[in-house]
Every structure is written in C-alpha cells, then in structure tokens.
Amino acid sequence: MKACEELGANAISTVCRGTGKKISTPYDEPSLACVGCGSCAAVCPTGAVGIEEKDGTRTIWGKTFEMLRCEKCGEYFAPREYFEFMEKKLGQIIENRYCSSCKKAIHGSKYRDIYGVK
C-alpha cells in the first residue's frame, strides 16, 4: 500500500475491518487509479498480490495493461499506462524506453567511455 501511495497512484488501501481486513482496491473492483506498475506486488511480504504477464499484457488487481517493449532488446518491461502516468507526473516526455538491464548497460558504457574504465 505504501509503495502505491509513494508513487502517487493511491490505487489500493485497506478494506473491511477486523479479521476480514485486507489490502485491496475499492470494492475489490479494478481500480481506475492503478497504472499497473507492480510496485505493490514487488514489496508484498506474503506474495498475496497477484500479477500475471502474458503475451504483452500485465494483469494486476483485475485490470489488464498493454506492455511496452524495450527499444534496445525488444523485451516487454513496463505498462504503457505507467509510462503515461510518469510523463504526466514529470511534466515531460520520456524519450528512451529501455528496460532496466539495457539502461544499466547504456549508462555503464557511458561511464567507461568518460572515465576510461575497462
């Protein structure tokens, strides 16, 4: 819940009371605020947040998102809706859409070029 809150999406919260209390979307319906980033699933200590990726889509909290491909390696890596959310939040277009592995490789090669590291 905190990961979603810190991102600024606020798509999930605690619902119900007592022994039925849980983390979920409002009314257990697909959340309009969810951008499909998967932060909640990544930090969930019990693995209770279900996330499924298949054929260029990601499904989480009952909502399905179209995934973007990395411009360098072609692997699916992030939901389109998440990128649009981040562009709006940053107030600028994100030019290069790279997965984390390709970002590391690109920045690593720039570092090596600048500092002459082999």
Segments in the chain below pLDDT 50? none
CA-CA distance, 77 to 79, in Å (whole number)? 7
Q: Please count the other Cβ atoms lying within 10 Å of the Cβ belonging to residue 85.
A: 19
pLDDT at 17: 85
pLDDT at 67: 98
pLDDT at 111: 66
Q: Is 79 exposed, middle or buried (0-12, 13-18, 19+ CB in 10 A)?
A: buried
CA-CA distance, 14 to 87, in Å (whole number)? 28
Q: What is the pLDDT of residues 92-106, one digit of tens each?
A: 999 889 999 999 998
CA-CA distance, 110 to 106, in Å (whole number)? 6
The structural domains of the chain, with segments of one domain joined by +, span 2-115
pLDDT at 37: 92
pTM of the entire structure? Answer: 0.78
pLDDT at 113: 67
Residue 67 is encoded by which pair of tokens?
């995934």
